[in-house]
Amino acid sequence: MASTVFSPLSKTIFSGQRLRNSLMQLALFVLLVSPAQANERIEESAALIDRLISHIQMVISNNPSEEEVLTQTNYIIDHYFDYDLVARFSAGQAWRSASDSEREAYKKAFRDVMLNLAKSQFKSLATLEYFPKQATPKGDKLVVASGIIHDKTGEFADATIAWRVSTKAGQPVKIIDIEVENISMLITRQQEHTAIIQQNGGSFQALIDALVQQAEDITKTSEKN
């Protein structure tokens, strides 16, 4: 009888000891490995931002044509940003119910807006400087790299900027959001897009049409100036 009672108890005690030992080993592993992994993620993220800034400065220094600005902006979107994630998130909940053709049309229209904005505003980047400050891991899938944007002409006050960089294991580091003065560009876009869909009875096509029109309006405004 005693052995019958003692047996489950002893198993519980020994299981608890094994659990504690396992947790201690895990903790030791984390202490030994995580800082190096975190440092690697930080270094990769900081290097990505440095390459992006250098790339933009290189393009600016070459006094690019509008066609070259579009080409380089496409390159920047594809090589420095996780565009698929950005497009998906910026569409909000409506992305889930959108058809494949609607998703592709949305991604093209959204990209056209960014390309036309870049084309119209690229020259204004020539007076800006970027000063990196720090990069901080947020869990094991994200690093936030922050810095200061300084206008050399003094026309605009310094602004803080934070680059949210995806650092998922086995995937290249990519930018997924930019925060300016703590305002997320991605969340702002998602809110705007969601509002358009809601104002049009839940129509995803209405959002696509609005983005196409927005891209055209940016071009027209740029041509007037």
pLDDT of residue 29: 38
How far is residue 221's CA from residue 225's CA, in Å, rounded to a whole number? 6
Maximal CA-CA distance, the chain = 95
CA geometry: angle at 127 spanning 179 and 73, to 5°?
60
How far is residue 114's CA from residue 112's CA, in Å, rounded to a whole number? 5
Q: Which whole number is the average pLDDT over 141-157?
A: 94
Identify the band that residue 224 occupies on the pLDDT scale cut at 50, 70 and 90.
confident
Q: Which CATH code, of 3.40.1020.10, 1.10.10.10, 3.40.50.300, 3.10.450.710, is assigned to 22-224?
A: 3.10.450.710
pLDDT of residue 1: 39
If you average pLDDT over every residue of the chain, what do you get?
86
Percent of the chain with pLDDT over 90: 73
pLDDT of residue 40: 87
* pLDDT tens column, 32-82: 344 455 688 899 999 999 999 999 999 999 999 999 999 999 999 999 999
Q: What is the DSSP letter of 128?
A: E
CA geometry: angle at 59 spanning 77 and 224, to 5°?
85
- Predicted TM-score (pTM) of the model is 0.80
How far is residue 5's CA from residue 116's CA, in Å, rounded to a whole number? 76
pLDDT of residue 191: 97
* pLDDT tens column, 179-216: 999 999 999 999 999 999 999 999 999 999 999 999 99
